[in-house]
Structure formats: C-alpha cells, structure tokens
Amino acid sequence: MLIKDVVLGEDAPKALLLEKHKEFLLSYGKKSHMDYEHKMTEYLRMSGYYWGLTALSLMGDLEHAGKEEILNFVQECQNPCGGISPAPGHDPHLLYTLSAVQILCLYDALDILDKEAIVKYVSGLQQDDGSFAGDKWGEIDTRFSFCALACLSFVKRLDAVNVDKAVEYILQCMNFDGGFGCRPGSESHAGQIYCCLGSLDLAKGDLLGWWLSERQLPSGGLNGRPEKLPDVCYSWWVLASLSMLGRLHWIDHDLLRSFILACQDSETGGISDRPGDIPDPFHTLFGLAGLSLFGDEHLVPIHPVFCLPYPVIDRLGIQTQSLH
C-alpha cells in the first residue's frame, strides 16, 4: 500500500540552524511594509507576532525584538469591547485576543491592557451550550473554547465563565476514534485534540492536581482521602495520577521519600503501608514505584499508566489504546 510521505534529501540540514532562524525572524518584520504579502497577511498580524516572538523566546533571543513597538501595536489593537484585533482597523476576535495576551505574558506586560474588558469580551462569547464563538459573527469551534479558557487562565479569571458547561460541550465533541472535532460530530483533527485536551486540563487539571497534592501529610506520606492515615500504596495512586497530569512536582519529593524509606523493614526487607507495620509485596512495589516516578537513580523508570518499567513498554511498542 502506497503511504503518503516525503523523502528527506541527502543535502537536508542535519543540525539546528539557530542563528539562521534568529536572523529569519528578526528580519521578517523589517520587510518593506507596503509589499503585497505584508498587506494580505494583515488579518493575522497579531498571531504572526506571537509566533515569531515565542520562537525567538525559545532561542533566548526575545530581547532583540523591538519591545516598545510591539507593545504599542498591541495597545492599538484593543477595542472598546475589550476584544483585540489582529491589526488596527480589523474586527476583534478570540484568536488574536489570545495571541495578544500571550505576547504580553512573554514581556510580563499584561497590565498594559484593560484586563476586565478582556474578561467581559471573552465571557460574552460563551454560548448557552457552553461553547464559544470566535467573535460577534458567531462561528463556533472548540479552538475558541481553548482560546477563551487560556486567555482567562492568564488573567486568573476562569470564574468569569461557566467552566463546567465548557467542559460538557468539549466532551460532546469527542469522537468514536478517541479524537476531537471542532463541533459535535465533526471529524477528529490533531489541532482540535490539542485544543480540547488543553481546555480540559485548564478547566479541571489544576483542581484535580490540587486535590491530589492535598493528599500529602506532614509525615510526607500520602493518604487516599481527606482525614485518612497515610499509606505507601497511595504514593503510587496519587503520584501516577499527578504524573499523567504533568503536575508531579506538586508533591514534596523529599518528604515523601523519607516516608517511604521509613516504611522499610530493615530486618526482613520489604516495605509496609505505614512505618512499623508488616511489609508485603504490594506495598514494596508501590513504594519503589513511587520512588521510581520521582526518578530515583537506583531504580528503572516506571510507566505511570501501565505500572511496568518503561523498557518493557518500549519493547512492546504499545500505546495506551491498541490500534489493531
């Protein structure tokens, strides 16, 4: 079966051409301002700035981009309604409102915008079913749910929208193939998957991460529910979940490590649920597994979902959902 792909030429670059990319991006803005391409891409200018500036920032070169000129441009693009346009004279839209907020975050200059106006604009675009329109013309797309929740997260105002309804709508956009589309029933697309998973994480990730990190007690041990005693096996249930959420660092590693080590039986070996109890294979596994998740140099790294050593998972070449 012929699969659609490309062939990498022999002369294709093999090293990362960082200096070239810096030149490319820094000179891009300096092209003649009235040339045709520049005019025809005016409708996405704010996003263009976000793409270039973030790329420069990744290369540690943001300071060479004209900060004052860009901050002035962003201010010129804010509308009385609070929404931000891609360029002066264009209609405001969620896409460019997010790009502008991201640019200001890069420069730590969020306060040059009227935050309350942005909050009003973004929250005003949420529909009764929880979805978000991109602008006043009403196009609905899960991309805009992400833009809205990301914007509000940056200004710490997720309270301004109905987050549960937003989540409810996004889950309706999940397809039988595990992917997400722009509206219920739309075909799965990687871009929409990024937006939907990102939205779910923004909406519920911190809440869940906080509940999990609240499991840690002064002893360093983790319990399974509030008001319960710590137990080594929760080192796994809680840590593996936080690891999946990308919030493993929300638990004090050293404190937990000292708890697990205190649960070891120095005579017989093995780890128990709590210091002084009888060790057993169950808690020995989950104590070591917790230490492995924190990257203990003496232990093989463990997969947070499969609870098996990564080399085993890699050898099997399996994904979390078998495709065949």
Contacts to ligand 3PZ by CB under 6 A: 231, 233, 273, 280-282
**CA 164 and chain centroid, separation:** 18
135 binds Zn ion (CB under 5 A): no
Among Zn ion, ligand 3PZ, none, the one that 135 touches (CB under a kind-dependent 5 to 8 A) is none
**206 vs 280 by CB, closer to ligand 3PZ:** 280
Count the residues of the shown chain that bind Zn ion, applying the rule CB under 5 A.
3
Q: Is 290 in the site for Zn ion (CB under 5 A)?
A: no
**Does the protein bind Zn ion through residue 231 (CB under 5 A)?**
yes
Smallest separation (angstroms) from Zn ion to the CB of 20: 55
Interaction between residue 141 and Zn ion (CB under 5 A):
no
Asked whether position 233 contacts Zn ion by CB under 5 A, the answer is: yes
Residue whose CB is less far from ligand 3PZ, 205 or 270: 270
Work out what residue 280 binds among ligand 3PZ, Zn ion, none; the CB cut-off runs from 5 to 8 Å by kind.
ligand 3PZ
Q: How far is the CB of 229 from ligand 3PZ (least distance, A)?
A: 10
Q: Is 240 in the site for Zn ion (CB under 5 A)?
A: no
Query: Distance (Å, rounded) from C-alpha 97 to C-alpha 103?
Result: 10
Nearer to Zn ion, 47 or 292 (CB): 292
For residues 185 and 226, which CB has a smaller minimum distance to ligand 3PZ in the complex?
226
**Of 222 and 233, CB closest to Zn ion:** 233
Is 86 in contact with 47 (CB distance < 8 Å)?
A: yes
